[in-house]
């Protein structure tokens, strides 16, 4: 007699799975059928596991038991969430997907853990991913990370301030360089193009890079401090890698790539030994998937694929998108032990201003980059004063002196 729920899919526990060769995906799922007091969650889960691996809605002859044993997704954890709603069934589930199906092929991996599953449950969200050793060994992780970037800048322990160049687009290369010079002499540690910056009628990355690096050279002669500039090179995948190489040849000391190019494209750039400068990944494209994929999952994927830093949400931003805990958790997974990879910078972002520094440092610690556009450039005394205000705010927390007192006594 055929069982209702296939034992090949269900008869597993997480402590019996080969953790070196299976990726473990954790999901929250919640479904409601008004007027129906029974929901077969296991049948729904079986559909999700099979759709992410071997089958479709209708089993066919060639999908043998052997094929399912070798390649199908398998339920390894089911934790029902109690509810007083008799028509709702909610649970946290864990599925194991064998890497035999795709090894270290990132696009195929994403199809398994974050593909058709979203079509089955009314409310499903990928909460976490555990990567197996035999997959991760084919990745390199960040080249610089926290430790390497600190060495480049000569800043051993405090948070770093970053100037987001504004407006998003429309400035000439000279205007861009002039803006960066003003924040560089004010002490900003880094600058980056806005994620929307690309090659336009009055600006291209080659000219912009030359003007900005010249501004950094001039500022260094004046201050003795050298800023890192993350030059935006986001482009079609066919152009991205060559663009990164060209930027390095011109003299870039940092690159900015947006998540919209895809994880494989990011991995290709970060894995190139000749691109030996820090790479930042911007997250804006990820916002579209917030309801279905948690931000810490994105953070972990970006670290796996080699970024040195990535923007992350914070509850205190001008566009709060996730809970306080989910925002902070991004920093945890960015810097947690992970197969020997270097720690990745998290960057609590969007609408930050110097007065937030004590809160951000209390939640995230010292190993953060705090990016600021209007919160630096909008200072009433100008761009240089705005950069100085950030340095003062960071120093005040490091020295455990209230910001207002620090501003009055240490100008």
CB-CB contact of 410 with 375 (8 Å): no
Say how far apart CA 264 and CA 262 lie, in whole Å.
Answer: 6
Please tell me the distance from the alpha carbon of residue 286 to that of residue 112, in angstroms, as a whole number: 18
Residues 6+ apart with CB under 8 A from 268: 240, 241
- Measuring CA to CA, which residue among 262, 263, 333, 237 is closest to residue 294? 333
Asked if 73 and 55 count as a contact pair (C-beta separation under 8 A), the reply is no
Order across the sheet with 228-232: list the strands. Answer: 345-349, 309-313, 279-282, 255-258, 228-232, 190-192, 160-164, 369-372
- Integer Cα distance of 26 and 96 in angstroms: 9
Q: How far apart are CA 6 and CA 43, in angstroms?
A: 9
List, by residue number, the catalytic residues: 166, 282
Tell me how crowded residue 23 is: count the other CB atoms within 10 A of its CB: 22
> Residue 156: is it exposed, middle or buried by C-beta count within 10 angstroms (0-12/13-18/19+)?
exposed
Residue (of 262, 299, 295, 256) closest to 277 by Cα position:
256
- Beta-carbon contacts of 404 under 8 Å, excluding residues fewer than 6 positions away, are none
Nearest to 346 by CA among 321, 372, 369: 369
Interacting residues of 359 by C-beta distance below 8 A, sequence separation 6+: 316
Distance (Å) of CA 357 to CA 194, 229, 364, 406 = 22, 22, 10, 13
CA–CA distance, 307 with 345 (Å, rounded to integer): 9
Calpha distance 106→23 (Å, rounded): 12
């Amino acid at each position: 007699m055929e069982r209702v729920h296939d034992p090949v899919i269900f008869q597993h526990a997480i402590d019996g799975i080969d953790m070196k060769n299976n990726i473990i995906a954790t999901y929250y799922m919640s479904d409601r059928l008004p007027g129906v007091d029974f929901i077969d969650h296991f049948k729904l889960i079986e559909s999700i596991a099979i759709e992410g691996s071997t089958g479709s809605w209708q089993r066919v002859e060639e999908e043998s038991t052997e094929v399912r044993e070798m390649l199908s997704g398998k339920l390894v954890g089911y934790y029902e969430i109690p509810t007083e709603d008799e028509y709702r069934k909610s649970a946290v589930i864990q599925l194991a997907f064998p890497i035999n199906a795709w090894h270290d092929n990132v696009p195929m991996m994403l199809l398994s853990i974050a593909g058709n599953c979203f079509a089955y449950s009314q409310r499903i969200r990928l909460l976490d991913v555990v990567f197996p050793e035999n997959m991760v060994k084919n990745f390199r992780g960040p080249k610089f990370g926290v430790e390497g970037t600190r060495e480049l800048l000569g800043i051993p322990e405090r948070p770093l301030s970053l100037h987001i160049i504004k407006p998003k687009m429309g400035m000439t290369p000279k205007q861009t360089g002039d803006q960066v010079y003003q924040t560089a002499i004010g002490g900003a540690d880094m600058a980056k193009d806005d994620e929307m910056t690309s090659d336009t009628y009055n600006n291209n990355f080659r000219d912009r890079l030359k003007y900005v690096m010249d501004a950094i050279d001039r500022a260094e002669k004046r201050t003795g401090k050298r800023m890192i500039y993350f030059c935006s090179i986001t482009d079609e995948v066919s152009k991205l890698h060559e663009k990164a190489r060209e930027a390095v040849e011109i003299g870039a000391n940092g690159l900015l790539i947006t998540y919209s190019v895809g994880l494989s494209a990011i991995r290709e750039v970060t894995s190139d030994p000749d691109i030996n400068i820090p790479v930042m990944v911007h997250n804006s494209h990820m916002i579209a998937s917030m309801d279905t994929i948690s931000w810490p999952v994105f953070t972990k994927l970006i670290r796996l694929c080699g970024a040195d830093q990535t923007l992350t949400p914070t509850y205190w931003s001008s566009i709060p998108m996730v809970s306080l805990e989910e925002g902070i958790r991004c920093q945890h997974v960015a810097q947690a032990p992970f197969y020997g990879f270097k720690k990745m910078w998290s960057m609590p972002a969007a609408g930050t201003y110097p007065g937030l520094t004590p809160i951000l440092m209390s939640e995230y610690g010292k190993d953060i980059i705090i990016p600021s556009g209007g919160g630096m450039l909008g200072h009433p005394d100008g761009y240089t004063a705005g950069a100085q205000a950030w340095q003062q705010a960071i120093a005040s927390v490091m020295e455990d002196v209230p910001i207002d007192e620090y501003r009055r006594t240490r100008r």
